Structures are given as C-alpha cells and as structure tokens.
Chains A and B, each alone.
Chain A
Amino acid sequence: DQQVKQNSPSLSVQEGRISILNCDYTNSMFDYFLWYKKYPAEGPTFLISISSIKDKNEDGRFTVFLNKSAKHLSLHIVPSQPGDSAVYFCAASASNDYKLSFGAGTTVTVRA
C-alpha cells in the first residue's frame, strides 16, 4: 500500500511556463518531504525538501508547498526549462527514521 502517491504519471508544459507537480501522502507520521529528479540512465538526485514546520520552501526556480491538513504537497517550477525534462519523485520520511517512502513519479516534458 503506497503511502506516497503521485497521481499524474506525466506532465507536458511549454518552455517558460509553470510546471506544477502534485503529491499526496497518507501516513500522518511523515514530517519531512523531498523531491528528487531523475534523468534516464542516472540515479535520482535531490532537488528540494521541506519540513512539516514550514508550509513553503523556495530554491531558485523551485518552490515546494506543503498543506499538512490536506496531506498534500506540490512542486512548482518557474519558469520551466528544457533541462527540467525528467522524472520527478516525491518522497517522505518520519522523524528518527532513515526510510524514505517514494511516490510513483511524474514524467515532465518541457516543450520548446
């Protein structure tokens, strides 16, 4: 039973526009959330994270929003660039636990 869900398998966006990726979780013990980016033939790499004590974290073009009451987080990429075309995984962890639980991933394609 997946505790982290990404219900959109794919997203296509025009270069320069905003990409919004969504993620839902079911485990109320999760209090730290991450996004990983994965290119073909490479391992996932860390993109951005957010602790449950915050509702927003921004890093350059990437912003993650957390809505704890809805158990929902989203990743905004503004503006989208061709190099952002990749698979994005949402992940979650609980305090004092090593384990990261991952969603199924969303494939983002940025069109020129």
Chain B
Amino acid sequence: EAQVTQNPRYLITVTGKKLTVTCSQNMNHEYMSWYRQDPGLGLRQIYYSMNVEVTDKGDVPEGYKVSRKEKRNFPLILESPSPNQTSLYFCASSSSLYSAGATNYGYTFGSGTRLTVV
C-alpha cells in the first residue's frame, strides 16, 4: 500500500530534550515536506526536500532541522524543543512538480505526530 509513515504518533517530552520524528514513504517520491498544524493557522510548512541531500526552509523553520540521506526517509529533528513547538506535525510527499493541465498533482500525507513539550 502506498503510504507515508510517521513515528511516533504521540510524544510528550520535556523542554530541551532532543527528539526526532521519523517519516518514510514507499512511493519513490522526490519531494518531501514537513508541516505543522496549529489552531487558526492551518498547515504551515517547516522544511522541504526536493531530492536526496537537497533541503530548504519553509515558512516556519526556526528550531527544526531535517536531513535527506535517502530518498524514502525525511526525519524532523528538534535539537532543543520548547513549549511553542507543541503542535500536530505532518509529513507529506509528492512525485512531481505541478504543471498546467496536470490532474494528479498533490501531496500524500502521513497520519500525523502529536507532540507536547512541557
């Protein structure tokens, strides 16, 4: 089954304790991205990757790191988590750029990771 898998689904941690949220896709997609969802703000992009070893900042990258050593994996790293990073996180992947006339463009999302930093 084609899917994006995130782990863990739920995580409670303390301020300053490094953590990693894993993301893996089995669709051979080039593009992967991390979003966070917060009430009233919707989904905001944290980081994205166009391909292996190619990553860039999204709209809210502060306090996060990513790596893309393999095509299928795109972990999100919080070196020193703070309470304002308490959120619902989604990993997503896509196979192609959108181009005019395309009908199948879009993201496949993981099921989400609910992170609480106390």
CA distance A53 to B103 in the complex (A): 12
Q: Ordered nearest first, which 3 A-B pairs have the shortest CB separation?
A: A43-B109, A104-B42, A102-B43
Query: A32, A43, A105 — which one has the most chain B CB atoms within 10 A of its CB?
Result: A43
Q: Is chain A's binding surface mostly helix, strand, loop or mixed?
A: loop
Q: Does residue B106 face the partner (Cβ distance < 8 Å to A)?
A: yes
Q: Which of B42, B97, B103 contacts A6 (CB 8 A)?
A: B42
- The tally of residues in B whose CB lies under 8 Å from a CB in A reads 30
A-B contact pairs, 27 of them (CB 8 A): A32-B98, A32-B100, A43-B4, A43-B90, A43-B92, A44-B109, A45-B109, A46-B106, A49-B103, A52-B100, A53-B100, A91-B43, A93-B98, A95-B97, A95-B98, A95-B100, A96-B97, A96-B99, A98-B31, A99-B45, A100-B106, A102-B42, A102-B44, A103-B42, A104-B40, A104-B42, A105-B42
Query: Measured between alpha carbons, how far is A46 from B98 in the docked complex, in Å?
Result: 15
User: Which residues of B have CB within 8 Å of A105?
Assistant: 42-43
C-alpha spacing A105/B33, complex, angstroms: 19
Q: Does B82 contact A (CB under 8 A)?
A: no
> Roughly how many angstroms separate A53 CA and B102 CA in the complex, as a whole number?
11
In the complex, whether B2 has a CB less than 8 A from a CB of chain A is no
B: residues with CB less than 8 A from A are 4, 31, 33, 35, 40-45, 48, 50, 58, 90, 92, 94, 97-103, 105-107, 109-112
A interface residues (Cβ-Cβ under 8 A, vs B): 2, 4, 6, 9, 31-32, 34, 36, 41-46, 49, 51-53, 89, 91, 93-105
